[in-house]
Each structure stands twice: as C-alpha cells, then as structure tokens.
Structure 1
Amino acid sequence: MNIEKRVKQLVEEKIADKPNLFLVDVKMHSNGKLMILVDGDNGIGIDECVAISRHVGFHLEEENVIETAYNLEVSSPGVDFPLASVRQYAKNIGRTLAIKMADGGKREGKLTGITEDAIIIEEKIKEKGKKAETVESVIPIDKITEAKVLISFK
C-alpha cells in the first residue's frame, strides 16, 4: 500500500467537516519523517494540527501501514514553501509573489486576483529610457514552476 496515498485519505477524512481546511502535501522522507502540510483559508491552528496528527497516527498504527519507526509531523506550510494550489493563491491575494516561469524567466508582482487556471499580478515593467510602469499581467498557472510569497520588512 502506498503510504502517502493512505495518509492523504486519512487527512481528507479528518478535515471533511472543516471546509475551510485543505491538504497541501504529504511526503514520506527516507529518514522516516512523515510530513503532512495542511492549510486553511484563514490559516490553521495548533489544535487542528494535533487532531489531524492523532487521527492519522492512530489509523497508521491500527493498520500497521508503516513497518519501520517514523516521525509524524503535521504543520502548515511555512512562508518559504511554494504555493501549490489555487486555494493557496487565493489566500495570498494582496501579497507580493516571486514567480519562476517554466521558460526559465523570473517575475515579481503583487497578486491581485486568480481565475480557474491563471493568476493576475501587478508588476513593474521598466523599459530602457522610460519610467517604470505598473501593468496587470495574467499568468497561466501551468506556466509557473514555483511561486513564493515575498515577505516585506519595510
């Protein structure tokens, strides 16, 4: 049985009655660390992480899914974690993103909106000899290899 697939099912079961929560990622690392990343439209609290951890841990033990020693960790993705879903983009509207494009290019701008398959950012474009202009750009999500929220300390 695929460990990550079973863990995803268990997490989805546990958060089924909490529509504001969503699963971001599940990864079983070779060092025995089982990492579950869950987020919420309004963030996620420690109590919710603990409840998910207990639910998943209990079922993994009952079903003897993992035969070696492992370390279960449930948390929300940190600011350095790339955005992985439309819901995460939606949650970060108004923030500045650093975007790596599939063609190797890099873009940066304030996320102002999302559609089903694209994001809308305001980015400053500077042409030689002209003042920088702020333009609205629509970027298809499938052309993005990585998008991270830039934290400003101004």
Structure 2
Amino acid sequence: MSKNVKDNVRMIATPILEDLHMELVDIEYKKEGKHWFLRLLIDHPDGVGLEECSLVSERVSEKLDEEDPIEGAYYLEVSSPGAERPLKNAADFQKAVGRNVYVKTYEKIGGQKTFEGQLTAYEEGYLTINIRDKTRTQAFHVPEKIVANARLSVL
C-alpha cells in the first residue's frame, strides 16, 4: 500500500516542484505510533529554507486535498534533505562523485557491508568508494544493485 501511495504522491508533487524549479529527492510514508506521516524531501541548487518548504507544503497540500490519493488522516512534512542527502538513483550517484558517502549493502564485499569514504566514480552500475584508514586507502567497487541504503556523509 505505501508504495502505491508514494507513486501517487510523486505524480502529484513532481509537476508542482518542477514549476518551482525544485527537485523531489525522496518520499516517505510511514506510521509512527498512532499517526501516519507523509514526508517530502525537496532540494534546489541554491538550497532550501523554511520559506521554500512552506510554499511546497501549501501547494502540495492543496493538490492532495483535491485529488485525495491517501485514505485516512496523515501529517504532511516538507523538508530539505540536509547534509546527509539520500542517494537513490544513478543521477544521484553521478552528482555525488567526489563527495563523501555512506553506503550499506545487502551482501558483503571484502568482508564488510558498510562503506564510508569518497565516491570517486560511478560507472556502468558500479560505485567506486575510496576508504582511507591511518596507513592506506582502499578502493571498493560496489554494484549498485546490492546497495541497500546510500547517502552523502559528513566525515
């Protein structure tokens, strides 16, 4: 059910954000305690502040009320992805090349499932992450298809 909700919300929110020259980074729809929360993460090349979040919240809320794609009550939250922006697709990985990332995988690579270091390349579905310890730097080649979770990192 939540995937369908996210797909419906994406179809409603994307044109609104494109009109405002913003990007829909992620959608989260989940129950916390007794309440459901619909969270939209938005971004803009010049950054996102309270004013932008309020504007998007107002416009998306109006359209959600009009189209009513979600059964029951929920809280709408709109925010910026912040310094630890999630990386969800090839375009996100490509933009993150040269930056520090945190990646968790479904399977072990070189005996580990978590990688935190600099994303030095993204080519043909593989991430190259350089991890540096006290004495050396090691490059890990991580297939995108086994990435469980990825985000920018503040090392």
Structure 1 contact 79–148 (Cα < 8 Å) conserved:
no
User: Which runs of no fewer than 5 residues in structure 1 stay unpaired?
Assistant: 126-130
Q: CA deviation at 1:68?
A: 3.1
* 2:65 aligned with 1:61: yes
Map of 1:52-131 to 2, 5 A cutoff?
52-79=56-83, 82-104=86-108, 105=112, 106-124=114-132
Q: Which residue, out of 12, 30, 41, partners 2:14?
A: 12
Instruction: Tell me, in whole angstroms, the C-alpha distance in 2 between the residues paired with 1:139 and 1:13.
Output: 33
Q: CA deviation at 1:57?
A: 0.6
* 2:138 aligned with 1:145: no
In structure 2, relative to structure 1, the CA distance for the partners of 1:63 and 1:97 (3 Å cut) is closer
Q: Secondary structure of 1:146's partner?
A: strand
TM-score by length of 2: 0.71
Q: CA deviation at 1:64?
A: 3.5
Report how many residues are paired: 146
Q: Deviations over 1:125-147 (max 9, x none)?
A: 7xxxxx94324443221122222
Instruction: Tell me, in whole angstroms, the C-alpha distance in 2 between the residues paired with 1:29 and 1:136.
Output: 36
Instruction: Tell me, in whole angstroms, the C-alpha distance in 2 between the residues paired with 1:40 and 1:100.
Output: 26
Which residue identity lines up with residue 26 of structure 2 in the other structure? Answer: D
Q: Secondary structure of 2:23's partner?
A: strand
* 93-102 or 8-17, which deviates more: 93-102
Q: CA deviation at 1:148?
A: 3.4
Which residue identity lines up with residue 119 of structure 1 in the other structure? Answer: L
TM-score by length of 1: 0.72
Instruction: Tell me, in whole angstroms, the C-alpha distance in 1 between the residues paired with 2:37 and 2:23.
Output: 21
Which residue identity lines up with residue 44 of structure 1 in the other structure? Answer: V
Q: Secondary structure of 2:73's partner?
A: coil
Q: Secondary structure of 1:69's partner?
A: coil
% same residue = 32
**Aligned residue in 1 for 2:137:** 134
Which residue identity lines up with residue 109 of structure 1 in the other structure? Answer: G
RMSD: 3.0
**Aligned residue in 1 for 2:24:** 23
Q: Deviations over 1:11-49 (max 9, x none)?
A: 111122456x33232233231221112234554343332
Give the greater-gyration-radius structure (CA).
Answer: 1
